[in-house]
């Protein structure tokens, strides 16, 4: 497995990471046995940069945080092999918000909250340190300087190695980095989600902050495997505009373009979509999520797909054709 360096503080990770959220929520029923097998296969393939969060996990039995507990079952014997990223800042509230999800969230990242959530994550993960700790979302009631300042104290205490932020504006990124060195920015980035390119990416690069795109496969849509697929109530994509019946035809035409490029490489559409993200720069480490070994192996295969400048340009133009907002 190739490696890439995130930021200027010395964090080197596998060139592709593994988003673990879908193992416990959002994309249908959890399957712990399948997920555990996928985590072990990730280690065999060298995909050792794992991403979770304190809030990942369905409401109900097991509840929020169950994804961290799932990872702990593998980390118990393999902690030194994994670069572990988790997050705080979104608080799960086990109270029905609506009949379809049974969950709601609050944004909380006061210094006291930062410290408390870190301790809880350390306990669930069964470890004494977190390699990369993210502010999952900015708390509107807490200046980002206070949240990141508390995270910096966790670094000084040896409980966290590196600090990250997620889904921030360019201005918020500046303020966070001025408080404590930020190693990585995690935001959604893919062929059909490119909002951060105008201001956030240039700011991150000027400050020497690495980029960690989540949902680089458009929540699976860019793989082409979801054509005609219906989403159940337990699948969060059922409520996302880009997956609606009114937008599906336009967006499937985009996937057809990706598939045409893939055919020229003897690759899968998802591998081309992922290769496009990977070729945005050596400071980019995408974290495609899956709970199945087959898809994990396909994702790793994207590292061997090398797109030409003409192909990159052809794919660049697809964003203008996307139908529907991301949320």
Q: Return the pLDDT at 220.
A: 79
CB 239 within 8 Å of CB 287: no
DSSP-derived pairing of the beta strands 104-107 and 182-188? unpaired
Q: Return the pLDDT at 45.
A: 98
The CB density around residue 169, as the number of other CB atoms within 10 Å, is 14
User: Is 97 strand, coil or helix?
Assistant: coil
Q: Return the pLDDT at 319.
A: 84
What 8-state DSSP symbol labels residue 230?
Answer: P
Alpha helices in the chain (DSSP H): 32-45, 66-78, 111-125, 144-156, 170-179, 200-207, 245-265, 269-278, 293-301, 309-316
DSSP-derived pairing of the beta strands 210-214 and 49-51? unpaired
- Measured at the alpha carbon of residue 289, what is the angle toward residues 212 and 22, in degrees to the nearest 5? 125
CB 161 within 8 Å of CB 130: yes
Report how far residue 323's alpha carbon sits from residue 312's, in angstroms, rounded to the nearest whole number. Answer: 21
In the chain, where are the structural domains located?
A: 3-321
Q: Return the pLDDT at 320.
A: 84
CB 164 within 8 Å of CB 213: no
CA dihedral 226, 229, 234, 235 (to 10 degrees): 30
Picking from 224, 212, 227, the residue whose alpha carbon sits closest to that of residue 267 is 224
Q: Return the pLDDT at 101.
A: 47
Give the domain 3-321 fold: TIM Barrel (3.20.20)
User: Is 251 strand, coil or helix?
Assistant: helix
Q: Return the pLDDT at 238.
A: 60
What 8-state DSSP symbol labels residue 281?
Answer: -
Report how far residue 143's alpha carbon sits from residue 140's, in angstroms, rounded to the nearest whole number. Answer: 7
Mean pLDDT by 10 residues, the chain (327 residues): 96 97 72 92 98 80 77 97 97 52 74 96 97 97 98 98 98 98 97 94 98 91 72 64 74 88 96 97 96 95 97 92 71
Q: Which residues are catalytic?
A: 56
């Amino acid at each position: 497995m190739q490696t890439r360096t995130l930021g200027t503080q010395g964090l080197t990770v596998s060139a592709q990471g593994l988003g673990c959220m879908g193992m416990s929520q959002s994309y249908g029923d959890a399957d712990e046995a399948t997920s555990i097998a996928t985590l072990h296969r990730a280690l065999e393939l060298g995909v050792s940069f794992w991403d979770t969060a304190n809030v990942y996990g369905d409401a109900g039995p097991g509840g929020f945080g169950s994804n961290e507990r799932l990872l702990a079952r593998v980390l118990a014997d393999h902690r030194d092999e994994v670069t572990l990223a988790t997050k705080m800042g979104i608080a799960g509230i086990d109270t029905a918000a609506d009949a379809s999800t049974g969950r709601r969230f609050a944004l909380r990242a006061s210094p006291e909250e930062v410290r408390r959530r870190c301790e809880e994550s350390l306990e669930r993960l069964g470890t004494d340190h977190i390699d990369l700790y993210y502010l999952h979302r900015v708390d509107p009631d807490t200046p980002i300087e206070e949240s990141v300042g508390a995270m910096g104290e966790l670094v000084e205490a040896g409980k966290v190695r590196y600090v990250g932020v997620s889904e921030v504006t360019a201005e918020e990124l500046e303020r966070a980095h001025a408080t404590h060195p930020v190693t990585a920015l995690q935001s959604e980035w893919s062929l059909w989600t490119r909002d951060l390119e105008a201001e956030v990416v240039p700011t991150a690069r000027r400050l020497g902050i690495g980029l960690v795109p989540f949902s680089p496969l458009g929540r699976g849509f860019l793989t082409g495997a979801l054509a005609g697929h219906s989403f159940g109530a337990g699948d969060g994509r059922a409520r996302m505009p880009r997956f609606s019946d009114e937008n599906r035809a336009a967006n499937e035409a985009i996937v057809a373009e990706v598939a045409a490029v893939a055919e020229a490489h003897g690759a899968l559409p998802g591998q081309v979509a992922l290769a496009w993200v990977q070729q945005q720069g050596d400071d980019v480490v995408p974290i495609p999520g899956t709970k199945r070994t087959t898809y994990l192996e396909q994702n790793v295969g994207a590292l061997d797909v090398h797109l030409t400048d003409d192909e990159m340009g052809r794919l660049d133009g697809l964003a203008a054709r996307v139908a529907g907002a991301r949320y």
